[in-house]
Amino acid sequence: MKASRALAEIVKKNAQRSKADFLNLDGVKFQFVLAWLQDLLANAAHEVLGKTDPRVDAIMKRFNDFLDAEGEDLRRRTAEIGRDPGHVLEVDVAQVDPAEVDRVYSREAAGYDSKHHLTTRGQDLQWRRAAGWLVAAASESRPAVLDLCTGTGLTAVEITRVMREHRREADITALDYNEAMLVEGRRRLAKMPDLGRTITFMRGDATAFVGSAPPGFHTFARSSFDIVTQVFGIGGVGNPVAVADNVLSVLRDGGRFLLIDMHRPVLGLPGEWAVPGFWVRFPRYEYFNYAKTTLPLVLARLWGWRDTTLDFYLAPLVCHEEEGVPYGFRLLWRVVESERWWFGLPLMPTCRLLLEKVRLDRSEYDRRRHILKLIGAGA
């Protein structure tokens, strides 16, 4: 009850703050309708002609051509979105401001657990458990785990639950820079001494936990951990490359890094909506909804979050030398899956990225450094 009242207040406050955005939707509203129409047409064509019939594409092309008459900008956008599944729509949400993120979590700490559970329709549990299953699959007898941006430690607790089912334990360091979230985490652990025995909360910055740090912030020696997890933590950090670089340092050779967060809808791989009698797909609508509503309102304003999609493609490129030996990541697994939100709507996918620390040969190392430099993300 308390959590839902708090949520209602936040939504109200944010709706006021973002009134200008909503009143300013003009063209966007129109594009929403067009996106729906296009999707409806595609669904109808699929139903009538079969899902793989090339005539569906022909119909969509005609429809896009028809839209040409609706103005240059609209034509360009719909054509790009309709025909090129790899097209990335510009999303104009500002980068995160660490002070604002800290304020958001200081304000949210007390109600964080239930609010996150509520807004994700309880799906957060399975994302956190995924971290647990990864740790349980570790060959190390007692894995050393670092849970980055741990917040109130929900992922750390879920890891210990899965481990307990396997009659095993892991030593978990739960790191966050927000004092209020850590206080809530410690308070919960005090109530579950059995589960919490192997979890240690620490204050630290996910972009600087190796080397020197301000007083009160923890750092770690190189090769201290077998596994690093970061579940819904990267979107509040402005420099994901620095995070991956720190992770690479603290992992031992062969250590794994699991990153889970939001991902833009992939046009060619939409989710499905259940309509009595059949399943329909609304890829364009999904995309607009993410770019124009979910990202600016729910993620950015409610949670201080940014678009994390690029992080899943940048992190695997991060590499550095350790005593003259080039190290980087091997991509083990990258899954982008449309989730079912409230009322079963597939409004936004999540991504699970699993990387392993490996030695790189010099040419691969140089290639990755070069790519990062070219795109302006190099150290």
Ligand X SMILES: C[S@@+](CC[C@H](N)C(=O)[O-])C[C@H]1O[C@@H](n2cnc3c(N)ncnc32)[C@H](O)[C@@H]1O
CB of 220 to ligand X, least distance (A): 13
CB under 6 A: which stretch of 53-61, 68-76, 231-239, 289-297 binds ligand X? 231-239
257 binds ligand X (CB under 6 A): no
265 binds ligand X (CB under 6 A): no
CB of 81 to ligand X, least distance (A): 29
Strand partners, 273: 280
207 binds ligand X (CB under 6 A): yes
**Other beta carbons less than 10 A from residue 166's beta carbon:** 12
273 binds ligand X (CB under 6 A): no
**Other beta carbons less than 10 A from residue 149's beta carbon:** 27
Binding mask 139-178 for ligand X (x = CB under 6 A): ----------xxx--xx--------------------xxx
| Site size for ligand X (CB under 6 A) | 21
Q: With beta carbons less than 8 A apart as the criterion, state whether 252 and 226 touch.
A: yes
Q: Which of residues 100-119 bind ligand X (CB under 6 A)?
A: 101, 105, 116
237 binds ligand X (CB under 6 A): yes
299 binds ligand X (CB under 6 A): no
Binding mask 178-197 for ligand X (x = CB under 6 A): x--x----------------
CB of 204 to ligand X, least distance (A): 6
Torsion on CA atoms 35, 123, 126, 220, rounded to nearest 10:
90
Closest to ligand X by CB, 177 vs 285, is: 177
Say how many CA atoms lie within 13 Å of 292 toward its Cβ: 19
Q: What tokens appear for 164 in the block?
A: 């307990």
Q: What tokens appear for 280 in the block?
A: 């329909």
DSSP states along 270-296 = ---EEETTEEE--HHHHHHHIIIIIII
CB of 132 to ligand X, least distance (A): 12
232 binds ligand X (CB under 6 A): yes
348 binds ligand X (CB under 6 A): no
CB under 6 A: which stretch of 52-60, 233-241, 268-276, 323-331 binds ligand X? 233-241
326 binds ligand X (CB under 6 A): no
Q: Which of 233, 240, 316, 346 binds ligand X (CB under 6 A)?
A: 233
Closest to ligand X by CB, 233 vs 328, is: 233
CB of 7 to ligand X, least distance (A): 15
DSSP states along 42-90 = HHHHHHHH-TT-HHHHHHHHHHHHHHGGG-HHHHHHHHHHHH-TT----
CB of 187 to ligand X, least distance (A): 14
255 binds ligand X (CB under 6 A): no
Q: Which of 39, 184, 205, 339 binds ligand X (CB under 6 A)?
A: 205
Closest by CA to 177, choosing from 276, 285, 83, 101, is 101
- Segments of the chain assigned E as strands: 144-147, 171-176, 199-203, 225-231, 251-262, 273-275, 278-280, 320-322, 325-338, 349-359
Report d(CA 237, CA 177) in Å as an integer: 11
236 binds ligand X (CB under 6 A): yes
3-state helix, strand, coil in the chain (%, to 5): 50, 20, 30
346 binds ligand X (CB under 6 A): no
Report d(CA 70, CA 36) in Å as an integer: 16
Q: Which 8-state DSSP code applies to residue 207?
A: T
Cα first-last separation, the chain: 47
CB of 180 to ligand X, least distance (A): 8
Residues of the shown chain interacting with ligand X in the complex, contacts defined by CB under 6 A:
101, 105, 116, 128, 149-151, 154-155, 176-178, 181, 205-207, 231-233, 236-237
